[in-house]
Structure 1
């Protein structure tokens, strides 16, 4: 007699299925702008919003759902991964292994800081930080109004950290001696730190101060400090492009590319196009903030490649020209700036929470 074969699911699997259904809930379909609070709506974006008030895991899983933030999240998530992998490959293949540290100290043993490569490490950290904070903000912000404010304040901290990471690396690796010895070169890093903090504070203030529909001066409050900071931060590159042939170094065409990409990204950040001319048509793919994200991600990748070339060019003489103590002091200002921005964002977050509690009473 043939044995009977059972095709029923094992009891362990049958018990596991309800648990999986709770851990991996089916996500509700995206909704229209009229179905979400005004805080979450974007001008000229009509559909593709995720409902507010869902469990946190729903927003994490919405990473794999199609909605109007999908491209915003993935563009910066993939860019952060690309920055990390490319930096690792450069460190192993061309940078001599562990950048930022020396495996032998001055006495020939132990571990010490490699002052010549530490600014490049801090730049990579700043780029990964801003890209990751941006991806997290766009992925999770629809959970609640409190989460929306908290996450975008964190996003502004990431942007300020990246601004100063760029300023630090560009001034040390991409500047020529004439710019470094100029008056601007002498005050560059303190001014860049001040403007990075001011950009963070202005963006946080504008986020809390203005309500939809946003007035024009809200955008100006965000764009003007960031624009002034960018003009200062890019000045070492601008001077070099103006005084050298663009074919004299492999880094210079990449610097031109990163400037062009940044200016294009700034345009799409400032102007809601093309969705302004056809509301609803570019909700999922193609609206201005998505183009801003894509262009800024490409700008960061081009900038990193340019800095790799400049790093190999300047590294041999960097410690001799600046001095190890001066380089380490400049690098120490990086966590100080990050801490100041984080404290500013936390103070603004408390104000946002107090305001939301008053509205709920």
Structure 2
């Protein structure tokens, strides 16, 4: 909303905005909660309480895209639309939607109280979608029966150019008891946990508001534990490669990326729970954890018995999940204002 002289409306103090708009420790810089779409977009270029939050999610989109497309230029890599890359694309979809939805939520939430709630419902939904995208990548690239090959790429993803001798790769589980979980329940569990997460997080905007930041942080600990099961398995068992293999050292570096991934997640959780001013530090740490996500790619000529990815098992899963999430958001929006703000 602009004044008659085309000057933007003055920013407000926390005492001048509805209670739902207030953020801990933020005393000024609030936009009036009736901005037009045009005003919201223009506010990205003026210092408000959301400017840093927007840019710390929007700019990483381009950083992530750079490292993502880099994989398709590796020597020996299959074509970008090959089934081999289906899980990689679903992972990209999850990360891209997460970063864009969060940046737009912070930019557009001043249009109205209803739009504000919907923006953050969508934000929570894309976080859930990201965890499932990661799970699909883990399943096909770090599964106990998938080969691990990594040669020090910045984000922990690379493709081996050499082939291991047949005797170097084991296609059996070091812990057979896990076979049923990985083959039957891993992806369904990741999807179910994602749905639980979005339901819980959306409800913290209407109920449990006093402890909403703690609840949201703890809720997303569950999908991390479930989706990271293949990584935990790799860290707790021997490498599938012979100790004399050229890929043994590379596969052994999985722990480095995963520990860094966990470190950034812990730091981001501290920022989120404590609500330390400058919420954008939470965004930065979250993105650094994504860059260190150990989404390792298996070689095209893997000797494992794991069935290859298909459209149904990758894009189909994500489409079904997104449809479910949209339905949940619609229901949450319907009941969002049954209670007084």
Q: TM-score range by the shorter chain?
A: 0.7 to 0.9
| Cα RMSD, aligned residues only | 2.8
* 1:330 maps onto 2:313 in alignment: yes
Deviations 1:103-159 (A, max 9, x none): xxxxxxxxxxx3221001110111000000000000110121011011111111111
How far the C-alpha of 1:78 sits from its partner, in A, is 0.9
SS at match of 2:77: coil
**Structure 1 unaligned residues grouped into runs of 5+:** 1-20, 102-113, 276-286
**What's the counterpart of residue 236 of structure 1?**
230
Contact 1:173 1:314 in 2 (8 A): no
1:1-361 to structure 2, matched below 5 A, reads 25-94=6-75, 96=77, 98-99=79-80, 101=81, 114-177=82-145, 178=173, 182=178, 183-186=180-183, 187-210=185-208, 214-216=209-211, 218-243=212-237, 248-249=250-251, 250-273=253-276, 275=277, 287=278, 289-303=279-293, 306-307=294-295, 310-311=296-297, 313-317=298-302, 321-324=305-308, 327-331=310-314, 332-352=316-336, 355=338
* Per-residue deviation, 1:164: 0.4
Q: Which runs of 5+ in 2 are unaligned?
A: 146-172, 240-247
* 2:174–2:237 CA contact under 8 A, matched in 1: no
Q: Distance in 2 between matches of 1:222 and 1:184?
A: 27
Q: Is the 8 A contact 2:3 2:9 kept in 1?
A: no
Q: 1:17-73 deviations in whole A, cap 9, x for unaligned?
A: xxxx99994323422111111111011221221222122211111111112211111
Report the alpha carbon displacement of residue 316 of structure 1 after superposing the two structures with TM. 2.7
* In structure 2, C-alpha distance between the alignment counterparts of 1:264 and 1:161, rounded to whole Å: 22
TM-score, normalised with respect to structure 2:
0.79
Relative to the length of structure 1, the TM-score reads: 0.75
Once the 2 structures are TM-superposed, how far is the Cα of residue 255 of structure 1 from its aligned partner? 2.2
